[in-house]
Amino acid sequence: MPINDSPLVLVTADRSLSGLHYSHSAGEKYLTAVSIGAGCTPLVLPALVDEIGLEDLLRRVDGVLITGGYSNIDPHYYGQEPASDKDERDIERDRSNLALIPQIIDAGVPFLGICRGLQELNVALGGSLHQLVHDVEGMQDHREDKSAPVDVQYGLSHLVSLQAGGILSGLQDEQNPMVNSVHGQGIDRLAAGLRIEAIAEDGLVEAVSVADAQQFALAVQWHPEWQVQNNSFYLATFEAFGDACRAQARKR
């Protein structure tokens, strides 16, 4: 597809200190998945909610990818105190993405959320999170082994059960695919208006969609962007997102 005809997809950024100055960045794996997996052109969106006119910007693009991240959402956004003083925070990302998500839905722009992006969707719409999933009775440890090579950390970890009639269940015949697992937090109270798309073996909600959305509006707890071309389920997810972005581009 010629790049001039390629749908434009905003890719949300993390804000972090780089040397003496702050920078806004998005991982290459997300940009590559948008380009190769979805067939769209990625544009990094800085976490600058006060400096960017989001409503106007959303009229100019065809999709939004809400990325994963190394930080966790500040728990005051869902009425809790921090369970650990070791959590990394990204206050500007919190402010930007929690303001952005309802506007994406209202604007009818397709979006795909990944890991932290799933958690942000749930919190933005009024849900809450388990801050330490592995400390919840009956839950498995969903964290990666950070001492292992990256291919092992992002390797297939556990099954999920796709829910009948959902977006994900329509992507392939296999309804219990294996996914990776690279997270310590997860959905506790599901926000009103979200539909469960996939559940882990321990009952943790692993994917959701916006029930009454007019557009593709999906978020997953795993990382389908990782080596997207080598996993048919991951690739199908990005292809479906790309198809929705192309439909939005035609409409726009």
Q: Active-site residue 28, yes or no?
A: no
Q: Active-site residue 134, yes or no?
A: no
Is the CB of residue 74 less than 8 Å from the CB of residue 89?
yes
Hey, which residues does 25 pair with through a beta bridge?
Answer: 14
Identify the CA nearest to 77 among candidates 110, 58, 101.
101
User: Which secondary structure element, helix H or strand E, spans residue 29, and what is its range?
Assistant: helix 28-32
User: Which secondary structure element, helix H or strand E, spans residue 12, and what is its range?
Assistant: strand 8-12
Report helix, strand or coil for 164: coil
Q: Active-site residue 223, yes or no?
A: yes
Q: Which of 40, 197, 225, 245 is catalytic?
A: 225
Q: For residue 232, what are its two tokens? A: 């048919």
Tell me the residue ranges of DSSP E strands in 137-235: 158-162, 178-179, 186-187, 194-200, 205-210, 217-220
Q: How far apart are CA 208 and CA 213, in angstroms?
A: 12
**Cβ neighbours of residue 214 closer than 8 Å, sequence gap 6 or more:** 108
Q: How far apart are CA 175 and CA 197, in angstroms?
A: 11
Q: Which of 130, 142, 183, 223 is catalytic?
A: 223
Pairing of strands 41-45, 8-12: parallel
Q: How far apart are CA 208 and CA 193, in angstroms?
A: 10
Report helix, strand or coil for 251: helix
Q: Which of 92, 115, 183, 197 is catalytic?
A: 115
Distance of CA 68 to the CA centre of its chain: 6
- Known catalytic residues are 115, 223, 225
